[in-house]
Structures are given as structure tokens and as C-alpha cells.
Amino acid sequence: MLQAFFQRLLHFIAYFAPGGEHMRPLMHRLRGVKMGENVWIGPYVWIDAKYPHLVSIGNNVSVGLRTSIIAHLRGQGVKVVIEDDVFIGPHVVILPDVTIGRGAVIRAGSVVTRSVPAGMMWGSPAAEPIAHVTVPLAAGNTYEEFIAGMRPIRKRRPAAATAPPTEEKDPAEVQ
């Protein structure tokens, strides 16, 4: 019971504390979150209170303002893995049993319900791949380099189900 209280206290401090590069990551590490180097955690980030040890965050990761990382819904928790060089925008919800691949970018406001492949931009409105990421939006790269390295995914148009409309002639012209 004392350990649970200590965990909740650290979570509370991490949630409100300043210091996205040092203080908040340190509090989450003390709670049991596995975390690499050069991790930035925005303010008001909620990382699973009951199973923080099931959350793994790689190196050079940015987690945006008010993001929630959930490792359980009911009963036993399951792993949530965020690999290296990932950028998570603000107000993102990451659900249990998800892996976010290396170099992926998650757009603001997205709900991540399934694993995201490495090097993909993922997000709303349909939470689907948007572009291939060739330059990670991580420390050591500028925003301009990231944008220049984006390779949008072109969607194919579905084949027409019916024949194209034919031109109707004016009855007066037919004569």
C-alpha cells in the first residue's frame, strides 16, 4: 500500500512538474517506466498509473502535451513500446498492446489503437499512414530537414463501378 502511494505521488509530481527534459522523465523512471536517453515529456502527460513498468520509451523521443499512454483497460496490463526517434504530438491517446516504430511521427489528437510501422506519419482523421519519414523529427535534425524528407503516400482511386456517362444528343440534332 505504501508503494502504491509512492507511485501515485511520483505520478502526480511528473504530471505537474516543470522540466520536460529532466524532471518529468526522472519521475517516470522512478515509477518504473523504461526510458532511454534524450527523452522529452510534455506537461500533463499521463502514463499508466497501475502498470508503468509495462511502458517502454526509446531514445530521442518527444511526448507532447496532454498525451495519455495506457497499458491496461481492465485486468492485466500489456506492453506499450515507443521505439527510438519517435515524435508524439499533443493530445494523443496511446492504447494498450501498441508498438510505435522507430522514427514514426504521431499527429496531434490521434488515438493510436494499433501498432504503427517504423518511419510512418500516423494520424487523424482516419488514423492511417500519411507519409514515409526519411529524416526523424528528433534531436539532431531540424524541422526543415524533417519536412524535406517527407515522402507522402499517394492513395489510389478506386476503379469506377459503372461505365462513364454517355453524352445524350438533343432530339432536334438527330434528324
For the domain that residue 111 is a member of, what is the CATH number?
2.160.10.10
Question: Which of the residue ranges 7-21, 96-110, 155-169 has the most confident prediction, judged by mean pLDDT?
Answer: 96-110
Total domain count, the chain:
1
Query: Is 168 part of any domain?
Result: no
Query: Is 100 part of any domain?
Result: yes
Residue 40 has pLDDT above 60, yes or no: yes
Catalytic residue among 53, 72, 91, 132: 53
Q: What is the pTM of this model?
A: 0.74
Active site residue 28: no
Domain that residue 80 falls in = 2-154
DSSP string, the chain: -HHHHHHHHHHHHHHH-S-TTTHHHHHHHHHT-EE-SS-EE-TT-EE-SS-GGGEEE-SS-EE-TT-EE-S-SSSS---EEE-TT-EE-TT-EE-SSEEE-TT-EE-TT-EE-S-B-TTEEEETTTTEEEEEESS-SSTTS-HHHHHHTEEEPPPPPPPPSSPPPPPPPPHHHH-
> pLDDT tens digits for 110-134?
999 999 999 999 987 766 788 899 9
What pLDDT does residue 92 have?
97
Query: Is 40 part of any domain?
Result: yes
What pLDDT does residue 114 have?
95
What pLDDT does residue 15 have?
87
What pLDDT does residue 11 have?
86
